[in-house]
A = this chain, B = another copy of it.
């Protein structure tokens, strides 16, 4: 069992009617606030007005960066960092989903850096400090509200790179499940696929790479997604469903459950190459990849973990043959993603063919090996992609 450092200092206000604490939390970090958001959805929902009122009431000065895209661009990072430098911003306030939060993390770090913030994604530099970041979450998916990572896309170089730095950890996050009532069916489904993928990436580790207590925690979260995602699709204003999904999205990826993980991730790096080229929704790409990856890595050395997954998550009869349980667990994962969530099940359906598979396979392996649950060569990744057609 590995040693680890647990360090998740983000304070979370969870529930409705917590936004009244935003002003004082912002004021604790300074006077000038850069509000970062995406399209106009927070104006439509009234959240923008409530946030702005908090800023005003606390006597703070507001600057804005809007138009942050899904799969956020380094161009937005640069623009935000420039505002911070020019205006002497004290604290960054991200209001939105994972893309807005990810982008804001890099803005907060870029504000304290003389060079191009793309350096933090390319690996040319690591930020040592960042402006304090406060987030108001509107989508349960990426877990960005409680971790220090973010994924930034560079359209020019067709790169989509995820990295994390301790200084980018949000100081405070506001999680109000009612803010996600207005998230549409498709985005809700993609968000849930993303949460599930985070959990599966950390659940599938070689024998001895985990801890019983954390395994049960992960299984509980996987069961939560499987139970409540369909409820949220049918009853978008089910507080119980939205709250369970939102809190699970944070804990799936904040470092707690995966603290002991002794291997890298698989589907995320491959999906990043997919959406770097095709700009598809991250959760959809993960949904299509995940069961194919599972089938590809299932063998005599991994079957034990699949059995555990099948028995503990889906309640499959433990007296069945081990390989049967494993296969059934993958079928039930597919059933959840494609039938229960109703997501498209193949790349073909979303207009992606094999022409860029070699490029994506090579990039996700960094030209060598993708060190995930099972180490994969570019040839392996290509085969998985072919299974997705």
Contacts and interface: CB of A to CB of B under 8 A. Distances in A.
B1 A7 contact: no
Nearest to A251: B213
Interface string A220-260: 11011001100000000001100110011001000000010
A14 B6 contact: yes
Contacts of A58: none
A3 B14 contact: yes
B212 A240 contact: yes
State the copy count for this chain: 2
Interface stretch (A15-23, A129-137, A154-162, A330-338): A15-23
A2 interface: yes
A2 B13 CA distance: 12
A287 to B, nearest CB: 21
B259 A14 contact: yes
A42 interface: no
Contacts of A248: 213
A192 to B, nearest CB: 13
A221 B228 contact: no
Contacts of A215: 220
A124 interface: no
A38 to B, nearest CB: 25
Interface in A360-378: none
Contacts of A12: 5-7
A14 B18 contact: no
A388 to B, nearest CB: 30
A244 to B, nearest CB: 5
A126 to B, nearest CB: 19
A85 interface: no
A293 to B, nearest CB: 25
Contact of A212 (B1, B3, B227): B227
Given A213-B248, A220-B220, A244-B211, A4 B11 contact: no
Given A9-B11, A14-B5, A216 B223 contact: yes
A321 to B, nearest CB: 21
Nearest to A240: B1
A219 interface: yes
B213 A244 contact: yes
A217 interface: yes
Contact of A216 (B4, B9, B219): B219
A158 B293 CA distance: 63
B15 A7 contact: no
Given A216-B223, A224-B213, A227-B212, A4 B15 contact: yes
A223 B312 CA distance: 13
Contacts of A221: 213, 216
A241 to B, nearest CB: 9
A322 B234 CA distance: 30
Contacts of A3: 13-18
Contacts of A16: 3
A11 B7 contact: yes
Nearest to A243: B1
A244 B251 CA distance: 19
12 contacts: A1-B240, A1-B243, A2-B15, A3-B14, A4-B15, A5-B13, A8-B8, A212-B227, A212-B244, A213-B248, A219-B220, A220-B220
